[in-house]
């Protein structure tokens, strides 16, 4: 297997504000997602949403409680290992049909409420739009293609058991897509005709940005202007009992422990009611004898 060369990049890219849409070549672009096209660079809440909606509240709570361990691994050991651990806890044992349903029916609305206006305008100005992300492809593919107008997502591929149709929790080769792996994936996708524009927001994007004809850095700005939803290629439809304007995924993440505790009360009362009905029915039945 081809091993990427790990290195520190000192390449400096101009900010995306210096990108002149009237002069750039509009044929192709390779763009990161979190922190680049999305205003937030913290993707963990989206994994929690996936864990809850495709799995259970308990799975979401376990994933939330694991964040200190994941953070330590990310800082002191390996970003690759931290990403694989998040994917393992989120997806292992879940049916692929459930994962695809959440990715189509729930996640797009949360993503759509967090699209950066400045980077989207550059992305939308190009003809061939490709996303290069560490996120699992199955999580973002529908949103990217239907709402952002992207033609392809290059990302982490989760492994699915062909017999049970459930996620194993592991990822396919080459693994968690960061750093040099992004560069290799872009070269494989575009061949000799490399992207005209590359945009990213962090050092793990520098490798693929460095091979693009023009590259721009998206500065982290939590107050950056958000794209109006009516400018998306397609308005995401929300299902079930979600509000028309969903809360930020971070709020859903913070509310999770309370939601888990509160969910126990209806279950307790429902079981008590059922138990009472059964006892009453049983007593009345035998009272006629």
The residue that leads in pLDDT, 238 or 54, is: 54
Domain count along the chain: 1
> What CATH code is carried by the domain that includes residue 165?
3.40.50.1000
Task: Characterize the bridge pairing of strands 197-200 and 152-156.
Answer: unpaired
d(C-alpha 118, C-alpha 125), whole Å? 11
Cα pseudo-dihedral 124, 219, 45, 123, rounded to 10? 10
Judge if pTM exceeds 0.85: no
**Domain membership of residue 139 as a residue range:** 16-264
152-174 burial, b at 16+ Cβ within 10 Å, e below that, comes to bbbbbebebeeeeebbebebeeb
Structure-model confidence comparison of residues 201 and 6, the more confident one: 201
Q: Is residue 199 part of a domain?
A: yes
For residue 238, being part of any structural domain is answered with yes
pLDDT in tens, 43-83: 888 998 899 889 988 898 899 889 889 989 988 998 899 99
């Amino acid at each position: 297997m081809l091993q990427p060369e790990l290195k520190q990049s000192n390449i400096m890219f101009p900010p995306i504000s210096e990108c002149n849409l009237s002069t750039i070549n509009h044929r192709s672009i390779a763009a990161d997602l979190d922190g680049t096209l999305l205003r937030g660079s913290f993707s963990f809440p989206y994994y929690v949403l996936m864990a809850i909606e495709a799995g259970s509240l308990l799975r979401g709570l376990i994933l939330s409680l694991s964040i200190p361990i994941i953070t330590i691994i990310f800082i002191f050991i390996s970003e690759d290992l931290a990403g694989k651990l998040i994917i393992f806890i989120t997806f292992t044992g879940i049916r692929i049909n459930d994962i695809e349903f959440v990715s189509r029916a729930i996640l797009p609305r949360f993503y759509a409420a967090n699209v950066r206006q400045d980077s989207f305008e550059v992305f939308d100005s190009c003809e061939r739009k490709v996303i290069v992300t560490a996120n699992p492809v199955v999580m973002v593919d529908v949103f990217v293609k239907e709402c952002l107008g992207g033609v392809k997502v290059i990302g982490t591929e989760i492994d699915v058991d062909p017999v049970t149709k459930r996620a194993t929790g592991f990822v396919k080769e080459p693994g968690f897509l960061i750093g040099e792996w992004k560069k290799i994936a872009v070269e494989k996708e575009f061949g000799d005709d490399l992207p005209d524009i590359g945009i990213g927001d962090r050092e793990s994007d520098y490798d693929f940005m460095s091979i693009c004809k023009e590259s721009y850095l998206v500065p982290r700005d939590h107050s950056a202007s958000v794209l109006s939803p009516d400018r998306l290629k397609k308005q995401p439809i929300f299902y079930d009992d979600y509000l028309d304007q969903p809360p930020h995924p971070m709020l859903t993440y913070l509310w999770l422990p309370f939601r888990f505790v509160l969910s126990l009360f209806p279950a307790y009362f429902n079981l008590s009611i059922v138990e009472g009905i059964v006892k009453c029915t049983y007593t009345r039945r035998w009272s006629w004898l």
